[in-house]
Structure 1
Amino acid sequence: MDWLSAVRSFVVLSDMGSFTKAADVIGVSASAMSKRIDWLEKQLGQTLFVRTTRQVSLNENGIRFLSYARNWVGQFDDMIEQAQGSELEPQGTLKIAATQAIGSSLLMPVIKQFLDKYENLTIHLNILTPGSPPDLEHDLVITSYYEEFDSAAHKGIRLADYQMTVFGAPSYLSQCEKITAIEDLAAHKMLLSNYYQKKGGIILEDGSLFDFSHYNFVSDHLDALMKAAIQGMGLIFISPQYVARELKQGVLIPVLPDLKSEVKQLWAYYPNTRFTPYKTRLFIDELKQSLTRLKTVI
């Protein structure tokens, strides 16, 4: 038995919560997986899991050990990728977290292109609550830039700048008086994410505050917000990149196109290790190229 095999098995088992599922991922039998974990626990002098007949979960020792284990296994994989060079075909799993809006509108087309190129890769895309800081459980976290987030455990790269503006359905706008100034918006309800409902407003390009006190629908589900806007339930203040499909289809159109939020930033955060995994760097490059293309057509 060796440390690398045992620690790698530990990380996979913590993710899968099942000896059988973890063994399938690693490519060994369930009994071999169990022996690796037993060996690791004996070497450390402590148990790492709570075992029941249905599942396996980390105990307090395991939770503390997991971050170190992920970091060590990740650094080893990074070292191998760096040594083999950029001709290496990326393999394994890339765990990404993003808000539902970013995942649906920006990431899914990139993920499809990426997996078409690299068939030996698997991508896990998890939902990040708007306003939540990046965590070390993911290889990559795509989110808006937050000044209050300052973690030595992360690296970050600025992907793109964007601004938010107001959109509505043609059917809705045709039934109300023409909107010609920001003051006219007071007569209309806004469709908001939970994040902006809690903030109560957004800073505009000129530094003033646009008040979100008038709203009738709140959700973090982008598809629900889009359907609400298309059905004429109200107006939506959002980045054009998130509604590119709806704009192309003509089911949403700009309202007061010159009314824009302050410039906001989209960032990619990833663990601050000595070597950034090759698959992470490849995905960031693919995403940046996609965002550049998207910006030119909006």
Structure 2
Amino acid sequence: MDALNHLQSFVLSAETGSFSAAARRLGLTPAAVSKNVARLETSLGLRLFQRSTRRLTLTEGGERFLQQIGGPLGALHDAINEAAGEGGPPSGILKISMAPSFGRRYVLPLLAEFVRRYPGVVPDCHLDNRPVDLVGEGFDAAIGGGIELTPGVVARELGPIYIVATASPAFMQGKAMPAHPQDLAPFDGVVRRSAGSGRLRNWILRDGNGGEGLAECRPRAIFDDPEAMAQAAIDGIGVALLPMPHALPHLRSGALIRLLPGWRADSGPLSLYYPSKKLLPAKTRVFVDFIVGQFREQDFAGLMVPD
């Protein structure tokens, strides 16, 4: 198991940026982790880190090596844990990716019950507005939309995501309410930048009766996070086209009002993604079942369908 320990020391040191942080995760001393990495470098004949007193930085070769082993190492750990814990309770680090604002509002409130049911499982939550490579980056699960279903990844749909036009009551005071998406053109807008392309997002709204139109405002403020967009709209900066999970709480409170009732854009489903494996680790299996069950109990799919 020495080679496996060396690889694990390297991966955790790269993820945390220090031998000390990796040592805390592994239950070792920083000196032992440093020695494991040094032995790995010797066996590979490759320098993996640039070392400084403040932080470790991966070399180009180290970056490439990390990408190559991240997925296979995770699969190997899963196989070992499955064999060692067969018949026992689920356990281990569960690496999860989710969007920050969605995760805080809809997923994190569920984790207290999850860890109560499965005390041996430790959620390792990564909140980021980017689609992740589940297999390549060693994630056990991800919750979001638009993640590419590459070979080795499966998805369980949690509910639809629709985009609706919103604004604050104060912003709309004295203004004519729009009747068609094209009527939004003269309004200041709180717009979103696509994380992938960097371009501003535009939406085609449809009314369910065959009508459609481009919903495009004058950009007044640009964000890459829908919760920040919602707050900017509440503050009266402009009209915001928001995903229903982010709009709904503010529509209910009255902080935002719905523009163009009956019009919406389909942004695709929200899904729970996880690597497809013949022997799915128990920690992943119970998390998938728990999240799917909780979203079904709370009728997330029904709540997200606008009138």
Normalization by structure 2: what TM-score?
A: 0.79
The equivalent residue for 1:48 is 48
SS of corresponding position for 2:270: strand
For 1:273 and 1:61, how far apart are their aligned partners in 2?
Answer: 29
Amino acid at match of 1:126: L
| 1:217-296 equivalence runs, <5 A | 217-262=221-266, 264-271=268-275, 274-292=278-296, 293=298, 294-296=300-302
Is it true that 1:176 corresponds to 2:175 in the alignment?
Answer: yes
For 1:279 and 1:150, how far apart are their aligned partners in 2?
Answer: 22
- Mapped contact 1:161–1:264 kept (Cα < 8 A): yes
The equivalent residue for 1:12 is 12
SS of corresponding position for 1:204: strand
SS of corresponding position for 2:265: coil
CA shift at 1:155, angstroms? 3.9
CA shift at 1:170, angstroms? 3.0
The equivalent residue for 2:110 is 110
Amino acid at match of 1:161: P
Amino acid at match of 2:78: D
For 2:2 and 2:56, how far apart are their aligned partners in 1?
Answer: 22
Aligned residues: 293
The equivalent residue for 2:90 is 89
- Mapped contact 1:200–1:213 kept (Cα < 8 A): no
Residue range with higher mean Cα deviation, 106-115 or 217-226 = 106-115
- Mapped contact 2:229–2:242 kept (Cα < 8 A): no
CA shift at 1:239, angstroms? 2.3
For 1:114 and 1:244, how far apart are their aligned partners in 2?
Answer: 25
The equivalent residue for 2:165 is 166
Matched residues, percent identical? 25
Amino acid at match of 2:242: I
Residue range with higher mean Cα deviation, 36-45 or 108-117 = 108-117
Cα shift readout 1:116-175 (whole Å, capped 9, x = no counterpart): 54445142323124xx564632513333226xx463364444332222112222333343
The equivalent residue for 2:219 is 215
Residues 265 and 122 (structure 1), Cα distance of their counterparts in 2 relative to 1, 3 Å cut: closer
Is it true that 1:127 corresponds to 2:128 in the alignment?
Answer: yes
For 2:251 and 2:138, how far apart are their aligned partners in 1?
Answer: 32
SS of corresponding position for 2:160: strand
Unaligned runs of 5+ in 2: none
Residues 30 and 213 (structure 1), Cα distance of their counterparts in 2 relative to 1, 3 Å cut: same
- Mapped contact 2:184–2:216 kept (Cα < 8 A): no
Residues 211 and 168 (structure 1), Cα distance of their counterparts in 2 relative to 1, 3 Å cut: closer
SS of corresponding position for 1:163: strand
Residues 110 and 243 (structure 1), Cα distance of their counterparts in 2 relative to 1, 3 Å cut: farther
| 1:138-217 equivalence runs, <5 A | 139=139, 140-145=141-146, 149=148, 151-152=150-151, 154-195=153-194, 198-205=199-206, 206=210, 208-217=212-221
- Mapped contact 1:110–1:286 kept (Cα < 8 A): no
The equivalent residue for 1:137 is 137
Cα shift readout 1:25-51 (whole Å, capped 9, x = no counterpart): 211122222332233233333332222
Residue range with higher mean Cα deviation, 113-122 or 232-241 = 113-122
| 1:22-61 equivalence runs, <5 A | 22-61=22-61
For 2:90 and 2:96, how far apart are their aligned partners in 1?
Answer: 19
For 1:171 and 1:137, how far apart are their aligned partners in 2?
Answer: 45
Amino acid at match of 1:202: W
Residues 207 and 27 (structure 1), Cα distance of their counterparts in 2 relative to 1, 3 Å cut: farther
Cα shift readout 1:40-71 (whole Å, capped 9, x = no counterpart): 23333333222233332322332232234333
Residues 215 and 41 (structure 1), Cα distance of their counterparts in 2 relative to 1, 3 Å cut: closer
For 1:189 and 1:208, how far apart are their aligned partners in 2?
Answer: 21
* CA RMSD, Structure 1 to Structure 2 (Å): 3.1
For 2:227 and 2:267, how far apart are their aligned partners in 1?
Answer: 24
